[in-house]
Amino acid sequence: MKKLETIFVTLNSWALILMLTAMALIVGANIALRYTSSHSLSWADEAARYLMIWMTFAGAGLILRIGGHVAITNLQDALPMMGQKILRACLVVGLLIFFGFMVHVGVQYAQRMQFQVTPALRIPFLYVYAAMPVGFGLLIVHLLLIARPFITAGAFKPMNGADSATPMPGGARG
């Protein structure tokens, strides 16, 4: 299971690297063309925007793994250890329900947009709006993979092979 998790995280990371690289190359080429030939690529801004949307949704799960999203820990810090675990378990269940709902809504929205095309690239908006259900699906998988250590110890996965998770305020780990 650990090997599958590593492969999953690696593939997710490489997808983000490829999207960021593509966006940088497109924007860089557009800037170079604009200043060297006084012409620009008509589709560059649109492609960069859609890549940014995909990077946002696809990268949210990786950030969730390390506790990088905004969190208010005042209530958790005020509770005894068992109360903290119960609160974190409720948070995980609530997030799973919300993420699942967003996958459902995202699929419906993407399907409604499948016959409209983008102005410059002329691709169906389905491919743009698919970022939402895909991203929330990735969030579900990432959350399920970190749920046990998060609930039991308040710990998130370490970043870049670090030995231990970053401690959270109040003695919990995160």
pTM comes to 0.86
Residue 75 sits in which domain range?
2-171
DSSP string, the chain: -HHHHHHHHHHHHHHHHHHHHHHHHHHHHHHHHHHHHS---TTHHHHHHHHHHHHHHHHHHHHHHTT-S----HHHHHS-HHHHHHHHHHHHHHHHHHHHHHHHHHHHHHHHTTT-B-TTT--BHHHHHTHHHHHHHHHHHHHHHHHHHHHHH---PPSTT-SSPPBPGGG-B-
Residue-by-residue pLDDT tens, the chain, 174 positions: 899 999 999 999 999 999 999 999 999 999 999 999 999 999 999 999 999 999 999 999 999 999 888 888 899 889 999 999 999 999 999 999 999 999 999 999 999 999 999 999 999 999 999 999 999 999 999 999 999 999 998 877 776 655 444 444 444 444
Query: What total number of domains does the chain contain?
Result: 1
